[in-house]
Structure 1
Amino acid sequence: MKLVVRVKLLPTPLQAAALEATLHACNEAANWLAAEALERKVTSRAGLQVLAYAELKARGLSAQPALHVLRKVADAYTTLRASLKAGNLGKPGSKRHTKATGKPVAFRENAAQPFDDRCLSWQHQNRTVSIWTTAGRMKSMAFTGQAEQLAVLAAHRKGETDLLHQNGQWYLIATCEIPATALNTEPDGFLGVDLGIVNIASTSTGKRYSGRRLNQRREADRRLRSKLQKKGTKSAKRRAKRHAGKEARRARDINHRISKQIVAEAQRTARGIALEDLGGIRERVRLRKPQRVTLHSWSFHQLGAFLAYKAGRAGVPVVYVNPAYSSQECSQCHHVDRRNRPAQARFVCRSCGFVEHADLNSSRILSQRGWAAWVCGAESQAPALTIIA
């Protein structure tokens, strides 16, 4: 399986200036080539190489960076054609469609630039890299990162590495190819994971991942975001942008911790993980306005993705189940009634009288549906459309 590792570069001022000049040169060349490609109607890699390789070399790029610029432009036009074909940019003749096709693809001056092993070499023991720049080869450039990620990087890095400049910091984003762990094909049941508004995640074993302090922090973030949006000044917009980045990093860290604990529990108990299929949840769920704000303020898709890839590394099977009526169905007698949930956190079955925390009851329903989906898929030997290894 593929895993992306991001490490932080620690360049000296001279090295940082060289990196910035390199990114600007590569993206300036990419913008020139994108305009030429549109004008001459040549967007394939081979066609662009014949058209512009010599010119890119004349612009100060060496052989490999020039080829990467060619590929970057060709891939951008391939993505554009796919979006047009899928209708993501409106119908032909529409204002959005005409705007997308009437101008060349554009690259920001600090857009990421890929490097291969000829342009970038790693010295893992010294935690330094040697990287090509327009000012010459920059050697002994320090980098840092989490110990676990650095170990994965040293053992499994494969392919290209992207140079990224973001919020004044320099990063290298490397792709690692990790050997797949043997999937547990005989799980002892499934750990149901219910994603919710008050509790970010609740499992069928009774664990809830949230808490008063986290919810207070989320509410404070929403109030500050709303206040800055209403103010609308330049300084307020700058502060809102900084705060949005901080909020996203905090949420990402929490999602990592939650997913790590859930996968560890599933692995320890030899279970699989049953997740809700949340596709279209924002269009499907009917909530009051305050609840909608809370729902939209958390990246449940990111949490699901973290759970999936961590489970894959651990050999824990994952199934996605239909969450319809899981909050109204009794986990004991399976009676479904919207009145079974008189309050957000309380479940009382109108048929058998079973009483439980609402999130715990929902997660148990998901656990049962996950097991049913796994057994059904195993017996029919159907393609793994709900199972992720």
Structure 2
Amino acid sequence: MEQTVNIKVKLNILEPNVGMKFSKTMEQYRLACNYVSEYLFNNNFPLNKNEVQKVIYNTIREKFNLKSQMAISCIRSVIARYKTVKTQMARRPYNYQDQNTGEWYREVRDLTWLHKPISFNRPQVDLQRNRDWSYLSSGQLSINTLDGRVKVDPICRGFNQYLDGTWKFGLAKLLKSSGKWYLHISATKEVTDFDKQAVKHVVGIDRGLRFLVTSYDEQGKTAFFDGQAIMRKRAKYQKLRAILQAKGTKSAKRRLKKLSGRENRWISDVNHCLSKTLVQKYGANTLFVLENLNGVSFERTDLPKALRNQNKSWAFYQLEQFLTYKAHLNNSEVVEVSAKYTSQRCPKCGVIKKDNRNHEKHEYHCDNCGYRSNDDRIGAMNIQLLGTQYISGQEQPKFELATNA
């Protein structure tokens, strides 16, 4: 199978006119994206690239002076964004209660629920490999603009590892962040398909707040990755954000924007380091088993108000994404299992009882067999068991609550 990664390359811009060419190209591309977005919104969301291209391709080229490939990339990018939003809306149906009967109903949402076209506010441009950008033998990057091609030097640690002939470069995105220019390059590599028969380790991973990750393997070994320092730092970000929002000045808003970018980069770095540590710890031929957290809330009412919002918004899905692609590059795999009863089930006797878990003490104590352990560890143990069942042939293993006959 193929595994794709996104390489973030900083560009060394020495001549001011190069930055001006980039800015002009990105702004015209942004305006073209908004034009395509309005067309989709006003024409009942046609998401077939070829059909849309037949109608507005020439208009885009004439109106925004885009190169031929850039015009095609613009249409493709906007349609891809709408498809992503469509998927996200379908996953989050609208729940409402009938005021007369009191019954709850669920309605699946689609793109018609949008009140206005998707807006493209950040200047950027998508570049096609060998058409709009290329890597030269001199080590420079050749990038196409509306005013011709320019050559720039890339600055990226470890970039040479992608030049060994096993990686295939694809689409790249040119953007500017904090006054610096970057090229985000998509690279694809053919990796070996995961073989269940060759599995050496089955690792259950419980994600949470007190411990970002608690892992449990087939040998009965547990590893805790503390999240207390993360929570404290996020609380500081939230406090500073509240102060700036209360001011409401232009300078405060600029500071908020920078603060948001800094926090997002820090969160990504934490998740990168955590996923890398897990992959290196267990090695190749490992099955990492995670809970499916769709619909699961991490809101904690037992915490101070200042800590609640930042706790329930940690990027757990991002951690899963990072762990997945790193696992694939290391001949390993990540699977999701049902989260039902994983924190309520005793891993020794199998009894499922919600009251056995003490949230305040972070302890699970089974009143049936007497087994006692950390509640996050209990979750990881049950998840690991579901992973073992998956290896044995159950495609969707899950725990069921026993019913009395």
What TM-score bracket applies, with the shorter chain setting the length?
0.7 to 0.9
Q: Which residue of 2 aligns with 1:194?
A: 206
Shift of residue 261 of structure 1? 1.5
Q: Which residue of 2 aligns with 1:358?
A: 375
The SS at the match of 1:324 is coil
Note if 1:131 corresponds to 2:143.
yes
Q: What is the CA–CA distance in structure 1 between the aligned matches of 2:25 and 2:324, rounded to whole Å?
A: 36
Cα distance change on mapping 1:162 and 1:289 into 2, 3 Å: same
2:179 and 2:10 map into 1 onto residues whose CA distance is: 11
Distance in 1 (CA, whole Å) between partners of 2:331 and 2:81 is 37
Q: TM-score, normalised by structure 1?
A: 0.80
Residue 327 (str. 1) matches residue 343 (str. 2): yes
Q: Aligned match of 2:9 in 3, 7, 19?
A: 7
Structure 1 residues 53, 310: closer, same or farther in 2, change over 3 A? Answer: same
**Per-residue CA shift, 1:59-110, capped at 9, x if unaligned?**
543333344345445x26964995799598999xx9x84743xxx6654361
The question of whether the paired residues in 1 share the 8 Å contact of 2:168 and 2:188 is answered with yes
2:288 corresponding residue in structure 1: 273
Which residue of 157, 165, 174 maps to 2:168? 157
1:197 deviation in Å? 1.3
Q: For structure 1, list consecutive stretches of 5 or more residues without a partner in the other structure.
A: none
**Greater Cα shift, 10-19 or 114-123:** 114-123
Would you say 1:116 and 2:145 are equivalent positions? no
| In 2: Cα distance, 1:354 partner to 1:36 partner | 62
CA spacing shift, 1:369–1:54, aligned 2, 3 Å: closer
Gaps of 5+ in 2: 95-106, 399-405
- Distance (whole Å) between structure 1 residues aligned to residue 232 and residue 45 of structure 2: 54
More helix by share: 1
- Name the one with the larger strand percent: 2
Q: Render the CA deviation track for 1:269-326: whole Å, top value 9, x for unaligned.
A: x5421111111112x8775464743532310111111112211222223221222232
Aligned to 2:196, what secondary structure does the other structure show?
A: coil
- Judge conservation of contact 1:117–1:160 (CA < 8 Å) in 2: no
Which of the residues 66, 81, 97 maps onto 1:61? 66
Deviates more, 1:43-52 or 1:246-255: 43-52
Question: 1:112/1:189 Cα in 2 relative to 1: closer, same or farther (>3 Å)?
Answer: same
Residue-by-residue CA offset, 1:134-178 (whole Å, 9 max, x unaligned)? 222212x0112231x552266413332222223433221222121
Distance 2:382 2:45 in 1: 55
Matches within 5 A, 1:199-238: 199-204=211-216, 205-210=221-226, 212-238=228-254
User: What is the distance in 2 between the residues matched to 1:84 and 1:365?
Assistant: 29
Which position in structure 2 is the counterpart of 1:183? 194
Tell me how far 1:45 sits from its aligned partner: 3.6
Q: Which of 248, 251, 262 is the matching residue for 1:246?
A: 262
Counterpart of 2:260, as a letter, is A
Q: TM-score, normalised by structure 2?
A: 0.77
Amino acid at match of 2:374: H
In structure 2, relative to structure 1, the CA distance for the partners of 1:339 and 1:277 (3 Å cut) is same
For 1:202, what is the secondary structure of its paired residue? strand
1:316 equivalent in alignment to 2:325 = no
SS at match of 1:112: strand
Judge conservation of contact 1:228–1:236 (CA < 8 Å) in 2.
yes
* Aligned residues of 1:49 and 1:70 also touching (Cα < 8 A): no
Residues 1:264 and 1:240: Cα distance change in structure 2 (over 3 Å): same
In structure 1, distance between residues paired with 2:201 and 2:115: 52
Deviation at 1:349, TM superposition (A): 2.4
**Amino acid of the structure 2 residue aligned with 1:248:** N
Identify if the C-alpha distance between structure 1 residues 338 and 98 changes in structure 2 by more than 3 Å, giving closer, same or farther: closer
Displacement after TM superposition at 1:16 (Å): 0.9
2:22 pairs with one of 19, 23, 26: 19
| Letter of the 1:10 counterpart | N
**Comparing 114-123 and 228-237, the one that deviates more:** 228-237
Among candidates 345, 366, 385, match of residue 349 of structure 1 = 366
Which of 272, 288, 296 in structure 2 is aligned with 1:256? 272
- C-alpha change, 1:48 and 1:293, in structure 2 (3 Å) is closer
Q: Relative to 1, partners in 2 of residues 1:154 and 1:234: Cα closer, same or farther, differing over 3 Å?
A: farther
Query: Displacement, 1:25?
Result: 2.5
Q: 1:54 to 1:188 in 2, by over 3 A?
A: closer
Of 255-264 and 114-123, the range deviating more from structure 2: 114-123
Count of equivalent residues: 370
Contact 1:153 1:176 survives alignment (8 Å): no
Q: CA deviation at 1:368?
A: 1.0
